[in-house]
Amino acid sequence: MYWGLFGTPGRIKGLRFKEKEKPHYLEKSLFLQKIKIMIQRIQTVYLIISAILIGLLFLLPFAEIAKDGVIYIFNFKGIMSEGSLKQSSIFVPVLIGVIIVLHGFAIQSFKTRARQIRVTIFTILLMMGLLGLFFFYTYGSFSGAQISFKISVLFPVIAIILDYLAIRAIGKDEALIRSIDRIR
């Protein structure tokens, strides 16, 4: 296509200016276009934030347990005291990893909304199980101990709320698609 002066198409006084060709590195790849389509939807943002919150559980402690003058730290590895592992909790890191993978799968299955809803509901159930494990390990391990929960225990609760909001947004998308199909 040829462009005239001042960005107008066509000829002006017999002069032709060819449109500048873009370098190949400025062309959008299919991957970047797919990412842009996914992030434009609010449920994707909810799911990404939820996955990040659950991923932060690998970095932060869940609780401090004080019993008989000894302070125990409960993190994703288990209950630790002075660097040594007192009680292992293999289910907690496995469950956290599964929840993160399922969030990624839900984000990637944005074209099949029914599957996205099912996977998100399943992650909500797993996060409720994760909360149950938190309380099982803290209260079940020590009787009569003082337990101080950290802010990271709230991350699964916040993630459950965000997943619920994502399910509602996915349902709205589905209703919009069905109404458009009815008009045709």
Q: Residue ranges of the alpha helices (H) in the chain?
A: 30-39, 42-55, 91-108, 113-141, 155-183
Higher pLDDT, 156 or 145: 156
Decide: 155 and 76 in contact? Cβ < 8 Å.
no
Q: What φ, ψ does residue 19 adopt, rounded to 5°?
A: -65, 140
Domain boundaries, the chain: 41-183
Decide: 127 and 77 in contact? Cβ < 8 Å.
no
Instruction: Tell me the pLDDT of the chain averaged across its residues.
Output: 82
Q: Domain 41-183 maps to which CATH number in 1.25.40, 1.10.533, 1.20.140, 2.60.120?
A: 1.20.140
Decide: 96 and 168 in contact? Cβ < 8 Å.
no
Condensed to tens digits (0 to 9), the pLDDT of residues 69-109 reads: 888 999 988 888 887 888 888 899 999 999 999 999 999 98
Residue with tokens 């919009």: 176
Give yes or no for residue 35 having a pLDDT over 80. no
Q: What torsion do the CA atoms of 161, 166, 172, 178 make, to the nearest 10 degrees?
A: -140
Q: How far apart are CA 153 and CA 159, in angstroms?
A: 11
Higher pLDDT, 143 or 80: 80
- Please tell me which of 10-24, 104-118, 133-147 the model is most confident about, judged by mean pLDDT: 104-118
B/e letters for 5-21, b = 16+ CB within 10 Å, e = fewer, are: eeeeeeeeeeeeeeeee
